[in-house]
């Protein structure tokens, strides 16, 4: 019976959850738990906080599942709940730094001016990118993360952040430009 759930799309699963099918909700959690964890890691550094907030996200999702509009896609709705949960947590805590960010996600082949041992070079690049991300305001940082790490479309990011699609594109472009400027100032060429 559980295998049958894997054949359904997200929206079909939501309909079943709205009919009180807990196995359907378990399948949704299975599909999105790792993604929501990854998204959370970009906001909070404390592992306990992340686990709690991911659980809270899915709890809120379950509690509010009947308000989901079946004509829409589920993933942006879920990310919106996660977004609100994480933002509320940030407001309660001091400013949190980003953890690891893979440079290949944004920049195909970063190269330092001076070639050093590859591992040391990679570590330095990752640190530089993390530092440049910290310098971006949340309004630019979040669309960048949603697009490159969570692989959401501009429309889905628009739904999550509740901003126009054109604004999503502008913010991603400005974020990338600012990151390039920061990295260039640090003597990295791409």
Across the chain, the runs of DSSP E, i.e. the strands, are: 111-112, 188-189
Domain 1-96: which topology? Rna Polymerase Sigma Factor; Chain: A (1.10.1740)
> What's the pLDDT at 137?
81
Q: Any idea where the domains of the chain sit in the sequence?
A: 1-96, 98-190
> What's the pLDDT at 94?
54
> What's the pLDDT at 10?
93
- Give the predicted TM-score (pTM) of the model: 0.64
Please answer whether residues 98 and 130 qualify as being in contact, where contact means their C-beta atoms are separated by less than 8 angstroms.
Answer: yes
Chain centroid to Cα 88, Å, comes to 16
Instruction: Give 76-111 as a DSSP string.
Output: HHHHHHHHHHHHHHHHHS---------HHHH-SS-E
> What's the pLDDT at 188?
61
Domain 98-190 listed as CATH 1.10.10.10: yes
Low-confidence ranges of the chain (pLDDT < 50): 96-100, 111-112, 115-116, 190
Q: Per 3-state DSSP, what percentage of the chain is helix, strand, and coil (rounded to 5)?
A: 70, 0, 25
Question: Furthest-apart CA pair in the chain: how many Å?
Answer: 61
Q: Which two tokens stand for residue 151?
A: 């692989």
> What's the pLDDT at 62?
95
> What's the pLDDT at 100?
47
């Amino acid at each position: 019976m559980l295998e049958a759930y894997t054949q359904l799309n997200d929206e079909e699963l939501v309909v079943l959850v709205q009919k009180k099918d807990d196995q359907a909700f378990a399948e949704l959690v299975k599909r999105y738990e790792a993604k929501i964890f990854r998204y959370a890691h970009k906001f909070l550094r404390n592992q306990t906080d992340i686990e709690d907030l991911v659980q809270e996200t899915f709890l809120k999702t379950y509690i509010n599942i009947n308000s989901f509009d079946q004509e829409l896609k589920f993933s942006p709705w879920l990310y919106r709940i996660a977004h609100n949960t994480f933002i509320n947590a940030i407001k309660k805590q001091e400013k949190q730094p980003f953890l690891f960010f893979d440079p290949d996600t944004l920049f195909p082949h970063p190269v330092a001016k001076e070639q050093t041992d590859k591992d040391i070079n990679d570590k330095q690049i990752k640190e530089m990118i993390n530092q440049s991300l910290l310098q971006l305001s949340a309004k630019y940082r979040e669309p960048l993360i949603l697009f490159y790490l969570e692989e959401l479309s501009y429309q889905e990011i628009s739904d999550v952040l509740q901003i126009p699609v054109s604004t999503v594109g502008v913010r991603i472009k400005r974020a990338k430009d600012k990151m390039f400027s920061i990295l260039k100032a640090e003597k990295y060429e791409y």
